[in-house]
Structure formats: C-alpha cells, structure tokens
Amino acid sequence: MIKILIADDFALLREDICDTLNAQEDMEVVGTAESGAQAEKLAAETDYDIILMDIEMKFMDGMMAAEEIRKVDTEVIIIFITNSPQYAIKGYEVGALDFVLKPVSYFAFSLKITKALTSLTHREKASVLLTFKNGMMRLPAEDITYIEILRRQMIVHTETEAYPMAGTLTEMEAKLGDAGFARCNKGYLVNLRHVKRITADSVQVGNDELLISRRRREDFLTAMTDYYGENGK
C-alpha cells in the first residue's frame, strides 16, 4: 500500500484529495497536516511514499518543511500544490518531483499522481528507516553491507558507518529478503551484493569476516547462487 501525506491549510482541499486518493485500491492517505511544521513532524514519525504539500502555509511554509524533511528522507516523493508557478523552480531545489497548480483539476492531478507512481516503480524499492533518539534517516538497502545483533542491540553496517537501532533480524529479513539479503547465521543478515569471498565456514562482507553456521550454510549458498543468477553476475 502506498502511504501518502497531505499538507494544506485549506481543509476542503485536503478532504477532496483524501477522497480521491483513498478511492484507489493501492493508495492510502495516512496523514494530513495544516502547516509545514505539522508536515515535518509527521514525516519524521512515519515512512511515507508520497507527500503532497502546499507551499504557502502558516507557521512554516511547505518549502521550509521540505528542506527539513530532506535532511532525514531523501527518497520520499514530494509534489507541491501552489497558486504560483514561480515557486516550482525553487521546489526542484529540494528534490520535488513536480507541482500542481491551484485550483486543482482532476485531470492534471491524476497525471501528477501517475508520474509519482512511475517514479516509485523505478526507484530503489528497498530501504531501511533508521530511528534514533533525536530523529530518523532513510538508508537505501544497497548501502547496507550487513546487519547484526550484538548484545541484544541491532546494528546496521555500511562501508563507513555502523548505526544502532531497535528491531529484530527476523523483522529485517522479512523486509529485505527480496532485496538480496540472507542470513549466514542467527546473528547476521548479509547483503549479498557486498559479499567478496566465501570459505568453508565464513563469508567476507566488505572488510569484515562473518561466520557461516552449519545450520544456515546450505540456505545461504543457495541464496548466493540465486542472487548471482538473477543479477547476471
């Protein structure tokens, strides 16, 4: 289900857009805001696919909200709703996909939503939303080398960083299994694209050597074979 946030200080427009989008089988408006500040707060709490946002709002305008949202989420699709086309140029500076002019016509709006859906289809689908005490950050799955459980703490590793976060490997495996991840033992979930070498009882992932358990070895090697076959490597 595609999760959408609508931010506009005109309640009637918010309701109309909600009704239009919720009528679609694969879309759901799971958040609404009447200011940029509310939109920023909601975007930090929920992993949205699309944000439809008015530019001219009280307290914090849509452009400022988009700048703050981009600090923690570079992937979410932003479409601005505006009375003034001149704002569109500035909108692209914060990575907005497009803009819709007010008054919103159904035909123009449907074209923008179709464009957003196409962008969702072609972008890197898998990502992990890392939650910290002071904020959130979306990390593309391809940047992850492996995920481990260490002293009951889950740690997401990249080539240069290690991010502690809440959760379990079972949850991450369910989310990332289709993105080329597999367990080499009960404590490690490996991104197969970063595997450099496999020995009888270990796998080199980046610069780290991880143990392959006897119980997981056959399934892990099968996952590696399938991954290389599907990706032509």
pLDDT tens, 18-73?
999 999 988 999 999 999 999 999 998 898 999 999 999 887 889 999 999 988 88
CATH superfamily of 137-230: LytTr DNA-binding domain (2.40.50.1020)
| 180 Rama class: left (phi>0) / alpha (psi -120 to 50) / beta | left
> Which structure tokens are listed for 182?
């597999």
Return the CA Rg of the chain: 21
2-122: CATH homologous superfamily? Response regulator (3.40.50.2300)
DSSP code string of 6-23: EE-S-HHHHHHHHHHHHT
Question: How is the chain split into domains, by residue range?
Answer: 2-122, 137-230
pTM: 0.58
Instruction: State pLDDT tens for residues 165-181.
Output: 888 999 999 888 778 89
Amino acid, single-letter form, for residue 67: E
